[in-house]
Amino acid sequence: MARVVLTGTHSVYASSIVRHIEDALKKTGHEVTLFDYIEFHGTVADKIKNRLRIRFPAIHASKAAATNKRLLQLCQMVAPDLLLIIKGEVIEADNLAEIRTTVGCKIVNWCSDTPFEENLEIKGLQNYDHVFVFDPYYVERLLRLGAPKASYLPMACDPDFHTEVTLTDAERRRYSADISFVGSWYPVRERVLEELVEFQLKIWGGGWKVAFLRNPLSPLLKHYQGVLEGNDAVKALIASKISINIHHPQSVCAPNMRTFEVPCCGGFQLVENLPEIGRLFRVGEEVVCYQNVRHLKELIKYYLERPDERLRVARAGQRRVRQEHTYVHRLRELLATVGVPQ
């Protein structure tokens, strides 16, 4: 058993990677101490603080200094075998170096987003023992910029969270749709979904209200249903005949979390094709991919008329992710790679 300080943020939103990693570590017998470095839980106050942090560097610097001091003190008190940082854009290089000197633990980052987004870059790459990233596209650049070791570690699912649930009649009325999209607004997603308004479409997620303020005549406005919290996203994925999975532009080669979450809870998805999907699933049998919007519309029409085929693919995908693509699988690989006792 290893002692792990897990550093990230525990969001209330539908799928928090830090929550799933914490649970996976505990399931495999490790002692976990959580350090929430942002303390962002989705409230209006949290959103305002986050905006202030970005707009006013002095406020950010003061908060970051206090956060780094708390992390150092926690590591010195717990004496972990592993400091596992999820993203960790506020963790400073000097603080990592002091933790390495005074504590002597392994320091690892698992980055679930691009490591190079403005204002969210990983600092002090040279102070990590290993950096894992969700897409192999970023590995070479991480090594070039000073990470001693960098590896691709795909995203995953949590079968205890992404599980089939029985919906009440009210929940089924609320969430049922021919097609649905669950995810945050980004321009590319808006463009794709605007091409799908001929179908019975429901959209769930953050950022869409702001987009509609900019474009109050958007054809998507009447399809928007709101933000989902807790396991409500699972209910939406189960109740929809087809879940549409449109990747963020940061996903260049490898799929997002939703690619694993939808089949884990028994849903059927049409996912934007990326090179790594074929290495993780049997395409056409365990997952169905689309190449462009025209192809996506053809697939929607085809699978809406074939519920038995949807079910067959969904069940095959569910078996695959539960056998190979859970957070327990990923954490075992991560710990073995960095040499932490299991």
pLDDT of residue 60: 56
pLDDT of residue 53: 60
Q: Which domain holds residue 228?
A: 169-324
Q: How far apart are CA 157 and CA 96, in angstroms?
A: 29
Does one domain contain both 145 and 280?
no
User: What is the sign of the dihedral through the CA atoms of 257, 260, 262 and 265?
Assistant: negative
H, E, C per residue of 205-239: CCCHHHHHHHCCCCCCHHHEEECCECCHHHHHHHH
Does one domain contain both 247 and 313?
yes
Contact by Cβ (8 Å): 68, 95: yes
CA dihedral 80, 106, 88, 85 (to 10 degrees): -60
pLDDT of residue 46: 52
pLDDT of residue 239: 97
What's the Rg (C-alpha) of the chain? 21
41 in any annotated domain: yes
pLDDT of residue 342: 81
Contact by Cβ (8 Å): 303, 242: yes
Per-position b or e across 204-230, b if 16+ CB within 10 A of its CB: bbbebeebbeeeeebebeebbbebbee
Does one domain contain both 174 and 313?
yes
161 in any annotated domain: no
Flag residues of the chain having pLDDT under 70: 11-15, 39-62, 119
Contact by Cβ (8 Å): 257, 284: no
314 in any annotated domain: yes
Contact by Cβ (8 Å): 316, 308: no
Beta bridge partners, 245, equal 271
pLDDT of residue 14: 43
Does one domain contain both 296 and 318?
yes
Whole-prediction pTM: 0.92
User: What is the sign of the dihedral through the CA atoms of 54, 139, 75 and 32?
Assistant: positive
Phi/psi for 88 (5° steps) reads: 70, 40
Domain count, the chain: 2
Q: How far apart are CA 236 and CA 258, in angstroms?
A: 12
Does one domain contain both 143 and 191?
no
Does one domain contain both 149 and 188?
no
92 in any annotated domain: yes
164 in any annotated domain: no
pLDDT of residue 230: 83
Contact by Cβ (8 Å): 74, 35: yes
C-alpha distances in Å from residue 22, one per residue of 4, 56, 72, 128, 264? 9, 32, 20, 20, 19
Beta bridge partners, 182, equal 204
pLDDT of residue 160: 96
286 in any annotated domain: yes
Nearest to 121 by CA among 95, 89, 164: 89
Does one domain contain both 285 and 222?
yes
Contact by Cβ (8 Å): 5, 75: yes
Does one domain contain both 211 and 225?
yes
Does one domain contain both 320 and 202?
yes
Single-letter code of the amino acid located at 270: L
Q: How far apart are CA 269 and CA 286, in angstroms?
A: 10
Does one domain contain both 139 and 185?
no
**Domain of residue 275, CATH code:** 3.40.50.2000
pLDDT of residue 37: 81
pLDDT of residue 148: 97
264 in any annotated domain: yes
162 in any annotated domain: no
